[in-house]
Amino acid sequence: MNFPALRLVEERAHSPQGAPVSVRELSIAFGQNQVLDRLSLHIEPGEFVAIVGRSGCGKSTLLRAVMGLIQPGGGSIDVDLNAARLVFQEPRLLPWASVRENVAVGAPAGLDAAERDRLVDARLAEVGLADKAEQWPAALSGGQRQRVALARALISQPRLLALDEPLGALDALTRIEMQALVETVWASEGFSALLVTHDVAEAVALADRVVVMEAGRIALDLPITVPRPRRHGDAELAALEGLILDRLLGR
């Protein structure tokens, strides 16, 4: 008999530990626009850090710099990019490839077909899409496509997962379901997570620390110690959300 859930647990037990990230005195300018100004941020192995801030404050610039997509103007970033994956707001799937093939794109090189299929099936089961492997992306909902993007990122067993507003295009209910999924996979896989989001409620629901950016620097670095799994609408989370919103709105 086949025990896919058991196999998944065995795989989790062998998951590599989360990778640390050290950003020191990072400065980035686009022309005259000084977007990041000697910003420092440290992420502990396995920690979940969310970044919030007003539109244009430099959240995505920071995340892209951490992922090696933007060259720092000054300062340093210490991160192992071999073990890092990025999930964007749009799922960026190959429209002409099946769900299985889209997830397999993220698989480590050198696997034989059976081993690759086994990993794809395990990841699809993890994100709740076990029955969609042979579908085309066009046949999926927006939330399902984003699950495929998550499975594609997870298949390489990343030690750091960077998430750039990954749930921003989803409706409110799907978004809450996806937040629970992200929390579950993070808790079971052990990777470090860096999430950029506009949604302060999402940040406090998911993160160990919420970092508030202002004028290219960190204005507030707030630990969220509410026990997990967290429940949407929890009073303590709502109070933390209010505190951060007060800061962002200057109230």
Ligand X SMILES: Nc1ncnc2c1ncn2[C@@H]1O[C@H](COP(=O)(O)OP(=O)(O)OP(=O)(O)O)[C@@H](O)[C@H]1O
Site residues for ligand X per CB under 6 A: 30, 33, 35, 53, 55-61, 198
When computed from its CA atoms, the radius of gyration of the chain, rounded to whole angstroms, is: 18
Beta strands per DSSP E along 88-226: 160-164, 192-196, 209-214, 217-223
CB of 207 vs ligand X, minimal distance in Å: 17
CB of 221 vs ligand X, minimal distance in Å: 17
Q: Which helix (H) or strand (E) holds 140?
A: none
Closest CA to 103 of 127, 79, 77: 127
Q: Between 55 and 225, name the residue whose CB sits nearer to ligand X.
A: 55
Identify the residue whose tokens are 């980035």.
28
Q: Which helix (H) or strand (E) holds 147?
A: helix 142-154
Cis preceding linkage at 229, omega within 30: yes
Q: Between 15 and 34, name the residue whose CB sits nearer to ligand X.
A: 34
Burial class from Cβ neighbours inside 10 Å (0-12, 13-18, 19+) for residue 13 reads exposed
Q: Between 58 and 166, name the residue whose CB sits nearer to ligand X.
A: 58
Q: Give the separation between CA 125 and CA 119, rounded to whole angstroms.
A: 10
CB of 175 vs ligand X, minimal distance in Å: 17
CB of 28 vs ligand X, minimal distance in Å: 8
CB of 13 vs ligand X, minimal distance in Å: 36
